[in-house]
Structure 1
Amino acid sequence: MASTTSPTLRQQRLGTELRKLRERAGLNTSAAAGLLGVNQSRISNIEAGRYAVSADRVRAMARMYSCANDALVDALAAMTGGRTRGWWDEYREHLPASYADLAELEHHACGLRVALVLHIPGLLQTPEYARAVIREAVPAFRSYEVEHRLSHRMKRQGILHAADPVPYTAVVHEAALRMQFGGASTVRAQLRHLLEVSEMDNVTVRVIPFAGGGTFPGTGQSFDYVLGPVPQLDTVQRDVAPGSQFADADTELAKYRAVVDRMEATSLSSPESRDFIHNVLSSM
C-alpha cells in the first residue's frame, strides 16, 4: 500500500469521510484496526490520506461501520487508488498546493455553482481580464508569478469545453459587470465573452442587479459550491490570499447551499441576464 507525506485534497477527503463513517459507528481507531486486522497506525494514516486504499478495502470498512448508503460507498470507492497525475501537477512547484487541489476538485466535479460579487468568475474570464485581476493582488506578484497563475486559470477552463463538460452555473452581481479591471476595452471584451459562453448548453449565467430590491443573500460572499457524486461529497471553495480555502463540514455545506439557492432565486433568469449584460455593454 503506497504512502505519501503530502496527500492531495482528494486523498484527504476520502480519509475524512472514512473517519466520519467510523465515528458514526461508535468505533475508535483501535477497535476499527482490530476488525480490519491491521495496526492502529494504519487506520490513522488512511484517515489522514497518507496511505492509498483500495476500493475493496473501502467497501470492507463501510460494511464494518454499518454504512447502508450504497451511493456514498460507491462514490468513496471511486476515489481510491494511488495518486494519479493531472495537468495541474506541473504547477505544484510554482504555485501553492491549493491551486492544484482546486483544479483537481473541479476536474472531478459533477457540477459547479459559483457566486461572484466583484469580478467575473475565473472559468469565464478572458486572458486579458484575468491578468488584470491577478495583478491586483496585495502584495503584488512578480511578472512570472502572474503568468503562472494566468496559465493555470486558463487551463482550468477546459472542464467547460470537454467532451462531457461539467454543468456550470454562475450568479454574478451587477457590480462585477461594471468593475473596470484592465480598463474599458478589456471589460467590453470580457462582457462579450461572457455573453458567448452563456449560450453554451452547460453554462448558465445569472445576474443580480443593483435594483433587484430586497436584501443581498449571504452578505456579498463569493465562493464556489462544487457538487460531488453525492451531496455528502460536496465542497465549498473560497478565495483567500494564499490561494483557496476549502470546507466540507455538513453545517458549512448546508449554509452555503442555502446561500447559493437564495442568490439564484434573487437573480434574473438566463435570458433576462443576457439582456442585462447587453445593456451594460452598450452603455460603456
Structure 2
Amino acid sequence: MPPSTPPPTVRRRRLGAELRRLRERADLTATQAGVRLGITQSRVSSIEAGRYGVSADRVRALARAYDCSDESLVNVLAAMTGERKRGWWEEYRELLPATLVDLTELEHHATALRVTQVVNIPGLLQTIDYARAVYQEAVPALLPHEIEHRVSHRIKRQAILHREVPPPYESIIHEAALRMQFGGAEVAKRQLKHLIDMSERESVTILVIPFGVAFPSTGGGIDYFHGPVPQLDTVTLDVAYEGKLIDAPAQLERYHAMLDRMRTVALGPKASRELIHDIARAN
C-alpha cells in the first residue's frame, strides 16, 4: 500500500479557511472561482480544505479574483505558503490528541499569546512534576507511557518562552489554581516558585484574579493566539479535554473582549507576584 498522506497542518487549514472567506465575501461559488482562475471546482475546494498545497503566486491570484484590496492580509497569506518542513510537534501526531499538536503549531507561529486558567497553572508555565501530577488526575485515567508523552510534549512547548526574541506572553490565573496542590505541597510550592521566576522575565506577564472578584468565564481555559494580522488570530478552548479551534471573526472579538475584561479585574503584575509568594510561603 502507498504511504498515507499526512493530514494538513493547522496553518495550511487556516490558509484555506481564509481563502474561502475571501471567496464568500466576493459572493462567488467554488465553481465560479475556478472558472476565473482556470482550475476545477474540486481544486478550489481542496485548497480551501487545506488538502492541496498552494503557492504564493496562486494566493495572490485568488485574492485578485476575489477583489481583495487588503494588501497586509494578502502578504501574510502568501507568506504562509512558504514553509514546507513540518515542525517538531509532528513527531507527536500518532501519540497525542490532534488538538494538542495543533495547539503547539499555533503557539509556534503566534506573534503574542494570552491565556487564562481557573483550576490549573497554564501549560507553558508548568514544572515537570506539576505537569505529571495534573495528567495523573485525568479522567479516564491515562497509562504511564501516555502521561510521559504528554509531559515531554508540554515541556518542549515551553521553549517558545525562551527564544532569543520570545513572543509576549500574558497569563491570567485565578487564585484557585494557585492553591490547588497537584502532586502535594512540595510540588505545588516549587510550581509557585517557578511562576515567580517566570513573572520576572520581560516577555512574561502573570496576572492573578483573587477570590471574591467577579469575572467573565467560559468555565475553562482560553488560549488566544495573535496572528501577524488580526484576521489570523485564533482561540482554543479546553485543549486538555479535546478542545476546539475558533477563528470566526465574531467569536474572536468575543474572546478578545472577555480577556480584556479579565485583565481589568485582575491584580497587577507586582501585586500578583506578591500574592503568589504569600501562597507559596504558606504551603
The TM-score range, normalised by the shorter chain, is: over 0.9
Tell me, in whole angstroms, the C-alpha distance in 1 between the residues paired with 2:93 and 2:218: 33
Deviation per CA, 1:98-126: give whole Å up to 9, x if none: 22211111000001000100011000000
What residue in structure 2 maps to residue 175 of structure 1?
A: 176
**1:261 and 2:260 correspond:** yes
The offset of 1:82, in angstroms, is: 5.9
Letter in 1 for 2:79: A
Q: What does 1:36-185 align with in structure 2 at a 5 Å threshold?
A: 36-81=37-82, 83-185=84-186
What residue in structure 2 maps to residue 272 of structure 1?
A: 271
Tell me, in whole angstroms, the C-alpha distance in 2 between the residues paired with 1:205 and 1:82: 32
SS in 2 for 1:107: helix
Structure 2 unmatched ranges of 5 or more: none
Tell me, in whole angstroms, the C-alpha distance in 2 between the residues paired with 1:82 and 1:70: 20
The offset of 1:83, in angstroms, is: 4.1
Deviation per CA, 1:48-86: give whole Å up to 9, x if none: 100010111101111111111111111111111464211
Tell me, in whole angstroms, the C-alpha distance in 1 between the residues paired with 2:6 and 2:172: 38
Tell me, in whole angstroms, the C-alpha distance in 2 between the residues paired with 1:167 and 1:82: 23
| Deviating more after overlay: 79-88 vs 55-64 | 79-88
Letter in 2 for 1:29: A
CA 1:211/1:77 → structure 2, altered by over 3 Å: closer, same or farther? same
Letter in 2 for 1:46: I
**Does structure 2 retain, via aligned residues, the 8 Å contact 1:52–1:81?**
no
SS in 2 for 1:210: coil
Deviation per CA, 1:190-229: give whole Å up to 9, x if none: 00000000000110000000033xx221254411011111
Tell me, in whole angstroms, the C-alpha distance in 1 between the residues paired with 2:218 and 2:54: 41
**1:231 and 2:239 correspond:** no
Tell me, in whole angstroms, the C-alpha distance in 2 between the residues paired with 1:164 and 1:100: 23
The offset of 1:167, in angstroms, is: 0.8
CA 1:82/1:160 → structure 2, altered by over 3 Å: closer, same or farther? closer
Letter in 2 for 1:125: Q
**Does structure 1 retain, via aligned residues, the 8 Å contact 2:234–2:246?**
yes
**Does structure 1 retain, via aligned residues, the 8 Å contact 2:54–2:81?**
yes
Letter in 2 for 1:160: L
**Does structure 2 retain, via aligned residues, the 8 Å contact 1:159–1:166?**
yes
Structure 1 unmatched ranges of 5 or more: none
**Does structure 2 retain, via aligned residues, the 8 Å contact 1:102–1:244?**
no
SS in 2 for 1:216: coil
Deviation per CA, 1:24-68: give whole Å up to 9, x if none: 001111110011111111101000100010111101111111111
The offset of 1:6, in angstroms, is: 1.8
Tell me, in whole angstroms, the C-alpha distance in 2 between the residues paired with 1:263 and 1:82: 36
**Does structure 2 retain, via aligned residues, the 8 Å contact 1:12–1:47?**
yes
Tell me, in whole angstroms, the C-alpha distance in 2 between the residues paired with 1:102 and 1:51: 22
CA 1:66/1:28 → structure 2, altered by over 3 Å: closer, same or farther? same
Tell me, in whole angstroms, the C-alpha distance in 2 between the residues paired with 1:150 and 1:83: 27
The offset of 1:179, in angstroms, is: 0.5
The offset of 1:279, in angstroms, is: 1.1
Deviation per CA, 1:164-197: give whole Å up to 9, x if none: 2111000000000000110110000000000000
What residue in structure 1 maps to residue 211 of structure 2?
A: 210
Deviation per CA, 1:239-277: give whole Å up to 9, x if none: 256533211111210111111000011101101111111
SS in 2 for 1:141: coil
Equivalenced residue count is 280
